[in-house]
Structure 1
Amino acid sequence: MTPQNTDDIYDCVIVGGGPAGATAAHDLARTGRRVLLLDKAGRIKPCGGAIPPRLIQDFDIPESVIVARARAARMIAPSGRVVDMPVEGGAVGMVDREHFDEWLRVRAAKAGCERRAGSFTTIDRAADGTAVVVYEPKGSDSAEVRIRTRTVIGADGAKSRVAADSIPGGGETKCVFAYHEIIKSPAPSADRGDAFDPARCDIYYQGRLSPDFYAWVFPHGETTSVGVGSANKGFSLRDAIRTLRKDLGLDEAQLVRKEGAPIPLKPLKRWDNGRDVILAGDAAGVVAPASGEGIYYAMLGGREAATAVGELLQTGDVRALAATRKRYMKAHGQVFMILGIMQHFWYRSDKRREGFVAMCNDKDVQRLTWDAYLNKRLGKPDHMAHLKIFLKDTAHLLGLAPTRPKPTA
């Protein structure tokens, strides 16, 4: 019998069915825990859809879910200068979030997780102190539903209602707002030249398209994500996409759908309530600064949250919840810090963006960047390469380095 306004109880209710929530639900359900996944059905997050080989391997993503593979990235500076960064000996998987997220939810259900569609309202407490998740079911005129549960995982996005309800400082993180349009991928055209490549991700570091972040064109096989992000509330994201599509000859491409959502800029200082609630994914703020990459970090956060909940249920030791953030940030905090510094310095003006793109032409920069992205770790120390990058970085910041390629004879 389904627990609804009864004394029955779940081991865990997970709020939010994106990559973090669906991963947590799958991991807990396959260990035999009684899990409910509560999700706002129909919500799709704007996302370029790139997933590194590390994610594909760690989370057993089948080839059938990957809709395309990108074998290069192209950086475009304010001046129009382009720098190509080929993925040496590999490729980046591309997914469409509409289908990828649902595949993850279906996998969780097959592992034994129960799915429901609805909007989280609050967490109340039963007489014995047990958490009671309150939600409004989707497409129903019935009263709110109340569900008793031993634990709760909040994976409901950057403006997490679970975080605001239960975690000190939760739901207050600074965000970039992202918007994208999914269009039908264009057919090859001589008129377009190499402005679009179905095996390449293009990233535009131009103030006219984003004053403080970047715009992108990420192919997904039959469709393509054309998007932009900015924390500047007065900047029109839709106008920027309209401009970019026109510049690339994509303004007549068929629009499939469009989405917008906030993306957190910094991990929260606390992810749990010290009792029975823990956050994961965007709700915990784990999106890589500078790049905005979130799928891998969300799924890892969901897995870590599930591990902590499993330990708490088994031992009763609430310290398992707080240990999750410490373990996570020990593994990835350095990368977040470096990317945060990059975003702070390089995205502030077109002059600095020009220098950033110029620096990306360096082979050492490309090698270290791809190693960190593909494998989700900082590579083994290469002191000479890091010294060269540091000196070039300093020269560009001080305006001492050329930002345009030298003319050829």
Structure 2
Amino acid sequence: MTEQYDAIVVGGGPSGATAANDLALAGHKVMLLDKAGRIKPCGGAVPPRMLKDFDVPIELLCTTANSARMISPNNRKVDMPVGEGGFVGMVDRDVFDEWLRVRASQNGATRIDGTFEALERDSDGTAIIAYRPKGSPRGSEPVRVRAKVVVGCDGGNSGVARATLPESDKPNFVAAYHEVIESPPEGFNGFEGNRCDVFYQGKHSPDFYAWVFPHGDKTSVGVGSAVKGFELRKAVANLREELGMTEFKTVRVEGAPIPLKPRKRWDNGKDVVVAGDAAGTVAPASGEGIYYAMYGGRAAAEAAGEFLRTGDPKALKIARARFMKAHGQVFWVLGMMQWFWYRSDNMRERFVKLCMDKDIQQLTWEAYMNKELAKKKPMAHVKIFIKDTGQLILAAGNAVRNLGKQKAA
């Protein structure tokens, strides 16, 4: 007899662990299948709201940052202080993700370390998850378990999504790679343990950005790019050499595809729903994903719970509808920002200059802390709109002049 669960959650990152925990707390029989030992490359930044919304103890933060530094192609440095009472929390994904998985297990989820192999169907149409337990010999028969509902939280390259959702809806990806190193001493070549540095420089990333994010005694040095053939490892090596960080020990290295656009569909209309990177919920422009992954995991758990209660597959649509209602507008705005400002070093230079504006800084941090577009100070929004429009007009004028020069030549 194949064991049956109410829900099987595939993937134990922030999204999957949150979904499994919520479903277990709701009284469902839950299995959490996770590929043990896999750590996603991640800057590790989380907003204070995450601690509140998901009952995460502040002790899990390895440090906090109170400012961000934006570095332009011409090496212009713009510091953006968070402001009084605010902070950017920093987590180490190996510690943070494991804590979330342990919590789900303590609250009733059955935790299994293993690799997802396939989604099959029983004779009555019930979903069967075939997986290979950690340490099992190659060629051995996979273990099979039945599920009334499957929640796929197994990353941007999700096997669950590939097996159940349209291939044409697969989101575009940024390839991310980082090296976690022992932190330099405070003040070393300008390094500050409470500041996140973001490099908007084409030499480090032609279409995204590079970063140096402090994690207490460790620091993440990484880069992202969607350009095929761009050498991420070489870019990180060059950044470390430029900053004098080659002498500090490398603790670990990680790489993975990061989706930057939510899928149009998160469920198969039957018994599967996806969340987190599998659903494409990493914020464009910023690359922030932890909070959105946990929010999506909770929404998927809510949808799965409603499906288990009613048996109506339409309930699975709750996950995407809830997420997009809360964050769709922010994702659209960030997507437009990335499309416009990251296209060239010339535009990135203008973008960093724009970040010197105090109104922009304040509204940026308010949106980050609260996870919604700031609604205060309507005149500040008007000022920003005028400034953005001015930049657009200036960029268009330059493009027309360049075109005229090319024709004349």
Percent identity, aligned pairs only, is 61
Checking the alignment, whether the CA contact within 8 Å between 1:171 and 1:283 is kept in structure 2 is: no
Matches within 5 A, 1:10-409: 10-89=5-84, 90-141=86-137, 142-169=140-167, 172-189=170-187, 192-194=188-190, 196-380=191-375, 382-399=377-394
Distance change in 2, residues 1:78/1:310 (3 Å): same
One-letter code of the match for 1:356?
Answer: F
- Stretch moving more, 386-395 or 33-42: 386-395
SS in 1 for 2:220: strand
The CA deviation at 1:171 is 7.3
State how far apart, in whole Å, the 2-side matches of 1:200 and 1:98 are: 21
The CA deviation at 1:396 is 2.2
What is the CA RMSD across the aligned residues, in angstroms?
Answer: 1.4
SS in 2 for 1:343: helix
SS in 2 for 1:399: helix
The CA deviation at 1:8 is 3.2
The CA deviation at 1:127 is 1.5
One-letter code of the match for 1:34?
Answer: K
Checking the alignment, whether the CA contact within 8 Å between 1:14 and 1:21 is kept in structure 2 is: yes
One-letter code of the match for 2:330?
Answer: V
Which TM-score applies when normalising by structure 2? 0.94
One-letter code of the match for 2:8?
Answer: V
State how far apart, in whole Å, the 2-side matches of 1:232 and 1:12 are: 38
Task: Looking at secondary structure, tell me which structure has more helix per residue.
Answer: 2
State how far apart, in whole Å, the 2-side matches of 1:339 and 1:76 are: 19
The count of residues paired between Structure 1 and Structure 2 equals: 393
The CA deviation at 1:160 is 0.7
State how far apart, in whole Å, the 2-side matches of 1:91 and 1:7 are: 48
Distance change in 2, residues 1:158/1:298 (3 Å): same
Checking the alignment, whether the CA contact within 8 Å between 1:164 and 1:171 is kept in structure 2 is: no
The CA deviation at 1:398 is 3.4
Q: Which runs of 5+ in 1 are unaligned?
A: 1-5, 402-409
The CA deviation at 1:137 is 1.7
State how far apart, in whole Å, the 2-side matches of 1:292 and 1:299 are: 15
The CA deviation at 1:378 is 1.0
One-letter code of the match for 2:124?
Answer: D
State how far apart, in whole Å, the 2-side matches of 1:7 and 1:277 are: 19
Checking the alignment, whether the CA contact within 8 Å between 2:8 and 2:149 is kept in structure 1 is: yes
The CA deviation at 1:320 is 1.2
The CA deviation at 1:400 is 7.1
The CA deviation at 1:316 is 1.3
Runs of 4+ in 1 over 4 A off after TM superposition: none
Distance change in 2, residues 1:400/1:134 (3 Å): closer
Cα deviation, 1:134-172, whole Å, max 9, x if unaligned, reads: 112221123111101111000000111100101123773
State how far apart, in whole Å, the 2-side matches of 1:156 and 1:162 are: 7
SS in 2 for 1:398: helix
The CA deviation at 1:391 is 1.7
SS in 2 for 1:286: coil
Checking the alignment, whether the CA contact within 8 Å between 1:155 and 1:280 is kept in structure 2 is: yes
State how far apart, in whole Å, the 2-side matches of 1:310 and 1:371 are: 33
Checking the alignment, whether the CA contact within 8 Å between 2:64 and 2:87 is kept in structure 1 is: yes
The CA deviation at 1:193 is 4.3
One-letter code of the match for 1:94?
Answer: M
SS in 1 for 2:167: coil
The CA deviation at 1:198 is 0.2
Checking the alignment, whether the CA contact within 8 Å between 1:160 and 1:170 is kept in structure 2 is: no
Q: Which runs of 5+ in 2 are unaligned?
A: 397-409
One-letter code of the match for 2:148?
Answer: R
The residue number in structure 2 matching 1:404 is: none
